[in-house]
Amino acid sequence: MRQINHFLAGGAAPVTGRTHKIWNPSTGEVQAEVALGGADVLQQAVDAAMKIQPEWATTNPQRRARVMFEFKRLVEANKQALAELLSSEHGKVVDDAHGDIQRGLEVIEFACGIPQALKGEYTQGAGPGIDVYSMRQPLGIGAGITPFNFPAMIPMWMFGMAIAAGNAFILKPSERDPSVPVRLAELFLEAGAPEGLLQVVHGDKEMVDAILDHPDIPAISFVGSSDIAHYIYSRGAENSKRVQAFGGAKNHGVVMPDADLDQVVNDLAGAAFGSAGERCMALPVVVPVGEDTAERLKAKLIPAIHALRVGVSTDKDAHYGPVVTPEHKARVEAWIDTAEKEGAEIVIDGRGFSLQGHEQGFFVGPTLIDRVTPEMDSYHNEIFGPVLQIVRARDFEEALSLPSKHQYGNGVAIFTRNGHAAREFASRVNVGMVGINVPIPVPVSYHSFGGWKRSGFGDIDQYGMEGLRFWTKGKKVTQRWPDGGGDGSNAFVIPTMG
Ligand code: NAD
């Protein structure tokens, strides 16, 4: 069986000790196993990173950018193979895997501009003969702990920014689809990065705890579910680390009576069911405003959802593939059971879905649930599957309050032709990322990404200039070069520039 080992400087020994099985979600077969490491493996990675990081930090930013440029070229040259590998472990269709890689590459492109982005500030003559300048310096070793649902994009978001800024990086990817992160690290080495600059350690809680407690890792970026995010944030902060920890989501799409419903249905089909709903920026809740809008929308949604094609991840015509593991399939179906017990109306039922010829695959049929209310557990919690819930709102204010009061605050969208309503919504909604007639408002790489409430713990976003801030610390220098003699000031009084 194919074995996936840690990617450490100096190569890795064969897999020994605990392992985790890697499924092919389309066939239901185990296709590989990944090593699960702990403190000893992490220490090897830290030792190698510490050896190389000081030299990397003093490598001029233009040379660091050249590695990023070459890495981008190599990922592009290997994109098809990476996308196929990704989809074989994750289950998303190959075209969607291309998108996963592309959105990561866009942050690498931003990181290619590191010489410009890292320029500091300078004030000449802040006082008599005094200049002040500020610079951003790397932290040392950064660590990233990533989820299964974007095994290319999220690692690149993290290590692209961290490494360009002068840090070494240790990545702990999801143990469910770890092959692409390892491949990316191999390509990074091929791109000219020194050995040890980007390493990949595999594992579960044991490895994560080792990272959280390691005294030589000053900063951790995490993306995953909210309870774990909160744990990472608290324990990391307790250990005096800088932590950003992004959690789960339940994004709402508000549909105003004047919206173009054909466009909305098209957008919703992709945003709710694409990648089998396993996206933190999916739109699993639609909020039509007014009964008439709800009825018109539902009438258009039903045939559109029936027309969705579920297929294996290599099926070019499939809209979406299987979910990631058998446990996840059971979990999604259990949430549909809960919704039913809570009194919601199961309009289209994806439970018990079986794909002919692939009966062992982890497929869940597209599901539409109406008459969902805010008190229901199935509304309060993240389902993370191909399930769209309709929550009917009486008016704009009620529609605005639903995402605003929800425990998660990652993304939200409003569909309308009314600029005033859209503007009002965007300014008042208590959610971090807003789309106006845009169903999946993931900001471009030169803005930054981050949700609010239980979707994001910590106060600095990912990538863009925020990402750069996260992976660096600011130093402020006040300098004076006297030409001899004193200026007669009292050295015992706090200096002022007046
Ligand atoms: P997860 O929380 O199960 O796993 C994320 C990471 O945490 C993995 O690397 C995993 O090995 C590790 N982990 C798991 N259990 C742990 C434990 N008990 N202690 C320490 N570490 C542990 O998440 P997932 O299922 O891989 O990913 C899906 C979740 O990620 C969803 O909730 C989704 O909304 C969220 N997500 C959020 C964003 C965002 O930007 N907010 C982006 C993508 C995914």
For the chain, percent helix, then strand, then coil, each to nearest 5? 40, 20, 40
Q: What are phi and psi of 340, to 5 degrees?
A: -65, -45
208 ligand 1 Cβ < 6 A: yes
210 ligand 1 Cβ < 6 A: no
How far does the centroid of ligand 1 lie from the alpha carbon of residue 327, in Å? 15
pLDDT confidence band for 295 (50 / 70 / 90): very high
140-145 average pLDDT score = 98
Nearest CA to ligand 1 atom 7: 224
DSSP notation for 433-462:
EEEES-SS-PPPTTS-B--EETTEESS--B
8 ligand 1 Cβ < 6 A: no
Burial class (CB in 10 A: 0-12, 13-18, 19+), 93: buried
Q: Residue 266 is which amino acid?
A: N
Q: Residue 368 is which amino acid?
A: L
SS3 137: strand
Where exactly are the structural domains of the chain?
2-247+455-478, 252-436
pTM of the model: 0.97
pLDDT at 37: 96
Helix (H) or strand (E) holding 20: strand 19-24
Counting residues of the chain whose pLDDT is more than 70, the rounded percentage is 99
CATH T-level fold of 252-436? Aldehyde Dehydrogenase; Chain A, domain 2 (3.40.309)
Q: Which tens digits make up the pLDDT trace of 388-416? A: 999 999 999 999 999 999 999 999 999 99
Nearest CA to ligand 1 atom 9: 174
233 ligand 1 Cβ < 6 A: no
DSSP notation for 250-271:
--EEEE-TTS-HHHHHHHHHHH
Question: Over 70: is that where the pLDDT of 120 sits?
Answer: yes
pLDDT at 249: 98
How far does the centroid of ligand 1 lie from the alpha carbon of residue 88, in Å? 20
Domain 2-247+455-478 carries which CATH code?
A: 3.40.605.10
111-136 average pLDDT score = 96
Question: Over 90: is that where the pLDDT of 489 sits?
Answer: no
Taking the CA of residue 324 as reference, the ligand 1 atom at the shortest distance is: 25
Torsion of CA 67, 71, 74, 79, to 10 degrees: -170
225 ligand 1 Cβ < 6 A: yes
Which residues are the active-site residues?
280
174 ligand 1 Cβ < 6 A: yes
Counting residues of the chain whose pLDDT is more than 90, the rounded percentage is 94
pLDDT at 485: 65
How far does the centroid of ligand 1 lie from the alpha carbon of residue 274, in Å? 19
DSSP state of 13: P
The pair of structure tokens assigned to 258 is: 């004047």
What is the C-alpha to C-alpha distance for residues 481 and 465, in angstroms, rounded to an integer?
33
Torsion of CA 286, 289, 293, 297, to 10 degrees: 0
Q: Which tens digits make up the pLDDT trace of 257-286? A: 999 999 999 999 999 999 999 999 999 999
Nearest CA to ligand 1 atom 33: 248
Q: Which tens digits make up the pLDDT trace of 35-87? A: 999 999 999 999 999 999 999 999 999 999 999 999 999 999 999 999 999 99
Question: Over 90: is that where the pLDDT of 487 sits?
Answer: no
Nearest CA to ligand 1 atom 20: 205
Question: Over 90: is that where the pLDDT of 486 sits?
Answer: no
146 ligand 1 Cβ < 6 A: yes
Q: Which tens digits make up the pLDDT trace of 211-250? A: 999 999 999 999 999 999 999 999 999 999 999 999 999 9
How far does the centroid of ligand 1 lie from the alpha carbon of residue 147, in Å? 4
121-127: strand order across its sheet: 121-127, 130-138, 472-480
pLDDT confidence band for 494 (50 / 70 / 90): confident
Nearest CA to ligand 1 atom 8: 174
Q: What average pLDDT does the chain have?
A: 97
